[in-house]
Structure 1
Amino acid sequence: MAVSLDLESKIKELLSSVEVSKVEIEGPSICVYIRNPANLSPEEVAEVARTLKKRIIVRSDPSARLPKREAEKAILSLAGDLVESVEFEDVGDVYIYLSKAIPERDFKRLARDIFTSTGWRAIVEMGVPKMMKLPSKDVLDVRAIFHKAFERRMSMMRELGMRIHHEPIVREGAITISFLGASMEVGRSAILVDTTESKILLDCGLKPSQYEEEFPLLEQVDLDELDAVVLSHAHMDHVGCLPYLYKYGYKGPVYMTDPTKYLTYILLTDYVELKEREGLTPPYTKSDIEALMYHTITLDYEEVTDIAPDVKLTFYDAGHEIGSALIHLHIGNGRYNILYTGDFKFGRTNLLNRAVNKFKRVEMLIMESTYGGRDDVQPPRIEAENTLVKNITETIERGGKVLIPAFSTGRAQEILYILNREMNKGSLKKAPIYVDGMIVETLNAYLMYPHFLNREVAEEIYNGINPFTSSGNIQIIERAKRLEDRINQVAKIVQDGQPGVIIAPHGMLNGGPILEYFVHLAPDPANKLIFVSYQAENTLGRRILNGERDFIVRSLSMGEVKVSMKMGVLSIPGFSGHSDRRELMKYIETLEPRPKKIVLIHGEPSKTISLATSIEIRYKVTTVIPKVGERIRAL
């Protein structure tokens, strides 16, 4: 789709050092084609983006590109043995997949060098070193789906460009927000932002339950009118229903960060496979997940992007898991600004930086309240770590096994990092640490995108150290293809008579590999179950914390099993990736600018009400608690 002559003239004026051959619209971006890429500087491109307030992509004219074979030789000459694979796309892009992670400044320099020397716009993606011996099938699957769907992606981007880049017809209409889930509850996050020009869906998740999963109220969403979906992070209560949209006809984009893209695929495919292994019918298929993946548009933090005629999107670091994002919507050329936190952590953790709290404009804050109760004050991180190490040591010394249910992304990696570090220091007695389920695959995202982690951890990875497995005691449990092999795999671990630690999903004991171990270990008082994450209502984990000890558990390998639990139980809340009560209040206190209205979601009723009361009393800000299905007017 061509741009207006006025816009093209302005771009040519701003890029006077190069010869512009054409300017087109591609999805949310303005694509500028030039004939002399060696003359272009990154500063010029940044200046065009700032001046036009648009996302700018610069490609070379076909006449300025080397033939693919020559270009590949030049790329290998520039990057050497770092290159794992190269994929050319006919629009003028070349995807270069590296064999390991390198610092952000280095891969940006490499991309520039490749562009100027070959004429191909280089998108450099980092990989996981072979020496780290992690299974990477899911990573390769995502890349294959993306490139195989090139024609469909380009078709979608052309249609999207036409939808985004036109002048709004109505500039002063109403802005409403519908809460389709996660209101006065934890789970099925989904928020519909509706202006006179556009409809944007924020997250689309499932509500976890031991009995029956709940969907958001998606009947309130007209998929033909939906302009975009924006994903805050890859946890099932935020992403679990996304493929369902594509199953029923949604053809538009979903915006997320690069790590979230890979984590989303891993979580969703595992979910479908688990349902099928249990003899259940999943709500969508792998082909629906593939449709989601090639409709994905990834953005970096603080990269402003048009996603509708009257809406600009910016992601900011949320500190919850790798790639998790605060979602900032700039509506109507600054007329109204919404900040949606998703799940966020306003405190530095072992792996991540704390959530961003400085913005140019925020009129409405939509904030989670998971730990908003008056008593929801988490102990300091160091205290939680010491408690974890102490209890694992005691269990190992008496010959027992520690079972740690953990979400596949976020909590599992931090716990693994801590145990690996403490074993390296000698503070924790060395014993096997078995890592099972999706935790294995999701480790790839942490090793591929260290610039999304805090500086200390990133430097370890850049220096060739795997901070999750370097102690030599981590035993990766790769998924068995046959049920018989899986049964033997679990039996070998639980019956070896040796003390150790097992980390596996699901974090709420709500299904997944963790139940395979639980049914074997629960009857033995020498073992210990340690919770390191939030346990939602109606999950097995919550029932255990509430004092229940006799259950009927459905295990994949054993079917329905009656379990009489005698193992010890401990909950350590200090590892949460959510902000606790103090951090939630501190976030509002330090948030710049102070919003005019706060909407609280993603919390149990008593906790949300308690937090709302405190916010209104202390900060004198109007605070709203919507119900599921409720629609409120922002402006």
Structure 2
Amino acid sequence: MAHSLDIESKIKEILSSVEVSKVEVEGPSICVYVKNPANLSNEEVAELAKTLKKRIVVRSDSAARLSKKDAEKVILSLAPDLVEHVYFEDVGDVYIYLSKAVPERDFKKLAREIFSSTGWRAIIEMGVPSMMKLPSKDIVDVRTIYHSAYDKRAAMMRELGARIHHEPVVKEGPITVSFLGASMEVGRSAILVDTTESKVLLDCGLKPSQYEEEFPLLEQVDLDSLDAVVLSHAHMDHVGCLPYLYKYGYRGPVYMTDPTKYLTYILLTDYVELKEREGQIPPYTKSDIETLMYHIITLDYEEVTDIAPDIKLTLYDAGHEIGSALVHLHIGNGRYNILYTGDFKFGRTNLLNKAVNKFKRVEMLIMESTYGGRDDVQPPRVEAENTLVKAITETIENRGKVLIPAFSTGRAQEILYILNREINRGNLKRVPIYVDGMIVETLNAYLMYPHFLNREVAEEIYGGVNPFTSSGSIEVVERAKRIEDRINQIARITQDERPGVIIAPHGMLNGGPILDYFVHLAPDPANKLIFVSYQAENTLGRRILNGEKDFIVRSISMGETKVSMRMGVVSIPGFSGHSDRRELMKYVETVEPRPRKVVLIHGEPSKIVSLATSIELRYKITTVIPRVGERIRAL
């Protein structure tokens, strides 16, 4: 066990400047309690983590902490007018929620000052300034669920710690990878990595469809023996089935980044509410989502963490949406290393940095292939932006309305950022831009975590500017709870004689608020539908791109309606958060070290076959195309 006398002696030897009172395991961390925290240096903690190759948490002994009342006074004095709420946990942690986002170096400095001054380990989370005037109920809900489940969380972390921190029984057994979805298809991403000692599930999503979602092959997962789930990012085709695991008894952790935690809650609760409003029975309940939320363990990028006796996890920036991650698994003390890209963008966008491509070890690369076809070459971002502005300007001049279906996390925020910027620059006429649905709630994550964005956007937010709404043209459409109110809301926007722009989810027109607007705007040739994202097979968006004109559409406000489409249609692929064909090939070429094997998933069959052929011919790397349900031997 990691808290053996040998480990304790090493800890005491390295932390010679402080008195260590006890050492415990808590989930993936080794928790060290000290009696004089003010004497502890960051260098000592870093050396300890490097020596033990473990995630280290340092807390002060209870006798060395100020009372909660006195500690709160000190915290408020250290950050006047910045602290919004303080929540103490008996284990020695204090959660501090700020009223706005501050640079990473500043909140880390504040955490150190709080620890040395009060003895309480500070966990600091950003907030959204009240002047932004965005709904924040979901943010509050996540925090409330987390803290109200303290006893359950503590019990889980104790059990998890005992499971993780022991020597593997079998060190040389086989390593297999099972593909439970997203193989030769787009959607229901789920990959099971299986060693003799451990089982880890990567993503657990739904397959989008206009008719009925498809689940991954979860019957192949023994929930009782599942050690961990790792979530690459919060899009429904990667996260949509996650609460389903908890509904049927899984009680282990799920690892993700901080922004992904909030986006996950927003997406899943909206999905359940949407199903209920449409008179359908969702596959899980809000209670299952709440259970999921207090089993989440968040990680920073490039933070190495033990998640099983023989597996270390590291998340890297994937550039797909805020908080999206490449998943790196280090198995068996260097025996084998798997890199799973999830969805990724190997190119810089307006908001994000491009995906990381440098690692210590990679034997197997599991890569998405959404735009892997030979003709899937996206135009430069600036060209796509100019096309968007031109299409909107033409529609405005014709007194029409522009309807933009957008994924509520990722694409929607970038489009909103571009439109807001172009209005401020005078390149786009100032017209109402209605932003509906989850786009509004998920925007909070972008304003709370600027250090997950590129430097230019982050600096704007730190400076008190909302780069998504500063033009004054943005009108937030909060979702009406009653159908009658929703009908009036849609009528007010669609029947307004002024031209305007409407951005709403879902990005593939296969459900959500976008359909409310679509049934009203589609018959008018003065209006325009602009696609800025991928349209999967069997979705309404794909049918429109294929040239269909007549549909039966079911929306929340109108029910089942016949639609004869006469509005214009424009597709602009250059905004994709996915890597295009050139970027996928470039990633395989430049990823370091070069993998021995590439496995292609998350793409239509013809695109995957084309990409696989090119990779093998050009780079001479063994390339595998698994089918759904297939299990391959890694080692």
Is TM > 0.5 for Structure 1 vs Structure 2? yes
- Aligned residue type for 2:94: V
Q: Does the 8 A contact of 1:84 with 1:99 survive in 2?
A: yes
Is 2:232 the partner of 1:226? no
Equivalence for 1:63: 63
- Aligned residue type for 1:27: G
Q: Does the 8 A contact of 2:255 with 2:297 survive in 1?
A: yes
Secondary structure of 2:124's partner? Answer: strand
Equivalence for 1:411: 411
Q: Does the 8 A contact of 1:134 with 1:440 survive in 2?
A: yes
Deviation for aligned residue 1:42: 1.3
Deviation for aligned residue 1:2: 7.8
Deviation for aligned residue 1:472: 0.3
Equivalence for 1:6: 6
Q: Does the 8 A contact of 1:523 with 1:565 survive in 2?
A: yes
Q: C-alpha distance in 2, partners of 1:481/1:60?
A: 47
Q: Does the 8 A contact of 2:2 with 2:165 survive in 1?
A: no
Q: C-alpha distance in 2, partners of 1:165/1:248?
A: 26
Identity %: 86
Equivalence for 1:286: 286
Q: C-alpha distance in 1, partners of 2:334/2:356?
A: 20
Secondary structure of 1:70's partner? Answer: helix
Equivalence for 2:461: 461
Taking the TM superposition and a 5 Å limit, the aligned residue runs for 1:25-44 are 25-44=25-44
Equivalence for 1:274: 274
Taking the TM superposition and a 5 Å limit, the aligned residue runs for 1:402-551 are 402-551=402-551
Equivalence for 2:571: 571
Equivalence for 1:557: 557
Q: Does the 8 A contact of 2:2 with 2:166 survive in 1?
A: no
Q: C-alpha distance in 1, partners of 2:2/2:380?
A: 56
- Aligned residue type for 1:515: L
Deviation for aligned residue 1:480: 1.1
Equivalence for 1:252: 252
Secondary structure of 2:135's partner? Answer: coil
Is 2:351 the partner of 1:351? yes
Taking the TM superposition and a 5 Å limit, the aligned residue runs for 1:302-451 are 302-451=302-451
Q: C-alpha distance in 1, partners of 2:484/2:107?
A: 44
Q: Does the 8 A contact of 1:59 with 1:92 survive in 2?
A: yes
Please list the CA deviations of residues 294-344 of structure 1 after superposition, one character each: whole Å capped at 9, or x if unmatched.
Answer: 000000000000000000000000000000000000000010000000000
Q: C-alpha distance in 1, partners of 2:252/2:349?
A: 35
Equivalence for 2:77: 77
Secondary structure of 1:503's partner? Answer: strand
Deviation for aligned residue 1:90: 0.5
Secondary structure of 1:224's partner? Answer: helix
- Aligned residue type for 2:73: K
Please list the CA deviations of residues 500-540 of structure 1 after superposition, one character each: whole Å capped at 9, or x if unmatched.
Answer: 00000000001000000000000000000000000000000
- Aligned residue type for 2:415: I
Deviation for aligned residue 1:162: 0.7
With normalisation by structure 2, the TM-score equals 1.00
Secondary structure of 1:511's partner? Answer: coil
Secondary structure of 1:80's partner? Answer: coil
Deviation for aligned residue 1:6: 0.4
- Aligned residue type for 2:108: K
Secondary structure of 1:57's partner? Answer: strand
Equivalence for 2:624: 624
Q: C-alpha distance in 2, partners of 1:263/1:468?
A: 18
Equivalence for 1:299: 299
Give 5+ residue unaligned stretches, structure 1: none
- Aligned residue type for 1:316: Y
Q: Does the 8 A contact of 1:533 with 1:573 survive in 2?
A: yes
Secondary structure of 1:81's partner? Answer: coil
Secondary structure of 1:135's partner? Answer: coil
Q: C-alpha distance in 2, partners of 1:35/1:484?
A: 61
Secondary structure of 2:142's partner? Answer: helix
In the TM superposition, structure 1's runs of 4+ consecutive aligned residues that sit over 2 Å from their partners are none
Equivalence for 2:198: 198
Q: Does the 8 A contact of 2:62 with 2:92 survive in 1?
A: yes
Q: C-alpha distance in 1, partners of 2:478/2:429?
A: 25
Secondary structure of 2:80's partner? Answer: helix
Q: C-alpha distance in 2, partners of 1:231/1:285?
A: 20
Q: C-alpha distance in 2, partners of 1:315/1:505?
A: 28
Secondary structure of 1:134's partner? Answer: coil
- Aligned residue type for 1:33: Y
Q: Does the 8 A contact of 1:256 with 1:297 survive in 2?
A: yes
Instruction: Judge which range, 279-288 or 482-491, deviates more.
Output: 482-491
- Aligned residue type for 2:300: D
Q: C-alpha distance in 1, partners of 2:9/2:246?
A: 39
Q: C-alpha distance in 2, partners of 1:79/1:93?
A: 17
Q: Does the 8 A contact of 1:2 with 1:23 survive in 2?
A: no
Secondary structure of 2:225's partner? Answer: coil
Q: C-alpha distance in 2, partners of 1:94/1:487?
A: 45
Q: C-alpha distance in 2, partners of 1:538/1:165?
A: 46
Equivalence for 1:88: 88
Deviation for aligned residue 1:44: 1.2
Deviation for aligned residue 1:573: 0.2
Equivalence for 1:107: 107
- Aligned residue type for 1:248: Y
Q: C-alpha distance in 1, partners of 2:16/2:459?
A: 39
Deviation for aligned residue 1:481: 1.7
Please list the CA deviations of residues 160-181 of structure 1 after superposition, one character each: whole Å capped at 9, or x if unmatched.
Answer: 0011011001111000000000
Equivalence for 1:48: 48
Equivalence for 2:184: 184
Q: C-alpha distance in 2, partners of 1:543/1:12?
A: 65
Q: Does the 8 A contact of 2:325 with 2:342 survive in 1?
A: yes
Q: Does the 8 A contact of 2:31 with 2:57 survive in 1?
A: yes
Q: C-alpha distance in 2, partners of 1:496/1:418?
A: 24
Q: Does the 8 A contact of 1:33 with 1:61 survive in 2?
A: yes
Deviation for aligned residue 1:424: 0.3
Q: Does the 8 A contact of 1:82 with 1:99 survive in 2?
A: yes
Secondary structure of 1:214's partner? Answer: coil
Secondary structure of 2:466's partner? Answer: coil
Deviation for aligned residue 1:497: 0.9
Equivalence for 1:16: 16
Number of residue pairs matched by the alignment: 635
Deviation for aligned residue 1:3: 1.0
Please list the CA deviations of residues 165-208 of structure 1 after superposition, one character each: whole Å capped at 9, or x if unmatched.
Answer: 11001111000000000000000000000000000000000000
Equivalence for 1:128: 128
Please list the CA deviations of residues 70-102 of structure 1 after superposition, one character each: whole Å capped at 9, or x if unmatched.
Answer: 000100000111011000000000000000000
Q: CA RMSD in A?
A: 0.6
Please list the CA deviations of residues 363-397 of structure 1 after superposition, one character each: whole Å capped at 9, or x if unmatched.
Answer: 00000000000000000000000000000001011
Q: C-alpha distance in 2, partners of 1:422/1:627?
A: 44
Q: C-alpha distance in 2, partners of 1:156/1:2?
A: 18
Q: C-alpha distance in 1, partners of 2:487/2:185?
A: 36
Q: Does the 8 A contact of 1:203 with 1:231 survive in 2?
A: yes
- Aligned residue type for 1:615: I
Secondary structure of 2:560's partner? Answer: strand
Q: Does the 8 A contact of 2:433 with 2:502 survive in 1?
A: yes
Please list the CA deviations of residues 203-254 of structure 1 after superposition, one character each: whole Å capped at 9, or x if unmatched.
Answer: 0000000011000000000000000000000000000000000000001000
Please list the CA deviations of residues 247-288 of structure 1 after superposition, one character each: whole Å capped at 9, or x if unmatched.
Answer: 000010000000000000000000000000000000000000
Deviation for aligned residue 1:555: 1.0
Q: C-alpha distance in 2, partners of 1:22/1:8?
A: 8
Q: C-alpha distance in 1, partners of 2:611/2:556?
A: 40
Equivalence for 2:584: 584
Deviation for aligned residue 1:557: 1.1
Q: C-alpha distance in 2, partners of 1:2/1:26?
A: 11
